Amino acid sequence: MWKLTSLIALLISFSSSAQFNWTWTELDTMPFRTANNAVCEAIVNGEEFVYSFGGIDQTKTLTGIHQRSFKYSVTLNSWTEIAPLPDTLGKIAKGASFVNEKIYILGGYHVLPNGSELSSDRVHIYNPASDTYETDGAPIPLAIDDHVQAVYKDSLIFVVTGWSNTANRPEVQIYDTYLNQWQAGTSVPNDNFFKAFGASGTIIGDTLYYHGGVSGSFSFVARTYLRKGYINPNDPTDITWVQMADAPGDAGYRAACSSAGNTLFWIGGASTAYNYDGIAYNGSGGVDPSARVLHFSLHDYQYNDETSEPFGVMDLRGIAKLSNNRWIICGGMDTNQVVSNRTFLLENPSVFIDEIIAINGFEVRYFPDEIVIGSVFTSAAKLISMNGNIVHEWRKDENVKIIRSQFETGIYLFEQEGNTIRIRI
């Protein structure tokens, strides 16, 4: 098998455009207005779905913090309600990640009847194939909420900084979804540049990036900071943290983060930190969302802050990344802190950049018209649909190239020498 050289390849890939033109399409509305809901995607039998877990309803009061959960069929453009989160109380500020065919909903906090807040150590596991919750995973060593949550190599979930009951915390906690075990990663520096709650980020290659959030335990000032941590691929608990240049424009409090190729981007959020009711911590009153998408290119380390998006949405706890450069956000808060039931499809062909994903020893390069896997294999390879049909085969010594126009959009399995990975076309 052709082995990866992911870091070098990632550094030499390039951005095809410095301009970004997002389109926002309103889809079916959610059955229920909810903000601060944990959102992620999942693939079930080759079909794409979006999931929303818990949150706060339109009352924006502690009694409105709920456990209700929903799923959206991309194919049917319709929402349905699923079983509520299996917890004792509703909670907000949690994260959701789709890893190895399961959804993991981590952390968050409850607001108790007396108004006090309690961080959660729960790891809920939802099986989208059966639409059921499985037994909870091993509890988070340090109960955490409003943390950065990112997936590494379709295996590990990184839980970075966040708030735990009474303070910002620097810990990095790593959950192994295969072993149901937690490990401690290298903590972020114990200062107000790196520690944050309400920040968001993602992992590209072996590097985790996160932006925004609140630093400090008293002033609760939203920040424009961007930080990165290089993950040692031979020991993922070994992380080197680096301070990066501040982003331009608004701070990013509770924005949604994703990436395409060598471009990271943050959607919406707010420039001022606020409590769960949308009222600023600093006493300035109600907070409104930023109508912006902030981009950061890993090719030239340049920002592009687009501040004239047609919609502003804040109080986001996740975004669903679909195939073919499509993303979905749902719920959150609109202008005047109105809790939303709107669903948006975001598309942007210009961010489809020579995307390189390294997983299970394969290196997959995504281009606008084709997908290239590795180089020349010494044995046969197969492309298999999610219903088990072999849709294409390659002989040994043949270049593995997938022409997008020759296949239906969706998720496929690529198999070679007994190793299998998912490919999105």
Residues 6+ positions from 116 with CB-CB distance below 8 Å: none
- Residue 215 pLDDT > 60: yes
Q: Which residues of 397-415 are buried (b: 16+ CB within 10 A; e: fewer)?
A: eeebebebeebeebbbbbb
- Tell which residue, 242, 199, 251, 257, has the closest CA to residue 224: 251
Could you give the percent of the chain with pLDDT greater than 90?
A: 72
pLDDT value of residue 13: 31
Task: Say how far residue 207 (Cα) sits from the centre of its chain.
Answer: 14
Paired with 117 in beta bridges are: 111
Distance, in Å, from the CA atom of 121 to the CA atom of 140, rounded to the nearest integer, reads: 5
pLDDT value of residue 12: 29
Amino acid occupying residue 181: Q
What single-letter DSSP state applies at residue 92? B
pLDDT value of residue 164: 97
pLDDT in tens, 41-95: 999 998 999 999 999 999 999 999 999 999 999 999 999 999 999 999 999 999 9
Residue whose pair of structure tokens reads 């590795």 in the numeric block: 374
CA torsion, points 299, 305, 311, 317, in degrees to nearest 10? Answer: 60
pTM over 0.85: no
pLDDT in tens, 13-33: 323 334 568 999 999 999 999
C-alpha dist (Å) from residue 8 to 4, 12, 368: 9, 6, 21
Phi–psi pair at 349, nearest 5 degrees: -60, -25
Do 66 and 79 meet the contact criterion of CB atoms below 8 Å apart? no
More confident of the two residues 360 and 247: 247
- Residue 6 pLDDT > 50: no
Distance, in Å, from the CA atom of 221 to the CA atom of 246, rounded to the nearest integer, reads: 15
Q: Is 201 helix (H, G, I), strand (E, B) or coil?
A: strand
- Residue 407 pLDDT > 90: no
Distance, in Å, from the CA atom of 299 to the CA atom of 117, rounded to the nearest integer, reads: 42
Phi–psi pair at 351, nearest 5 degrees: -95, 10
Q: Is 172 helix (H, G, I), strand (E, B) or coil?
A: strand
As a whole number, mean pLDDT of residues 229-244 equals 96
Give me 47's structure tokens: 């079909």
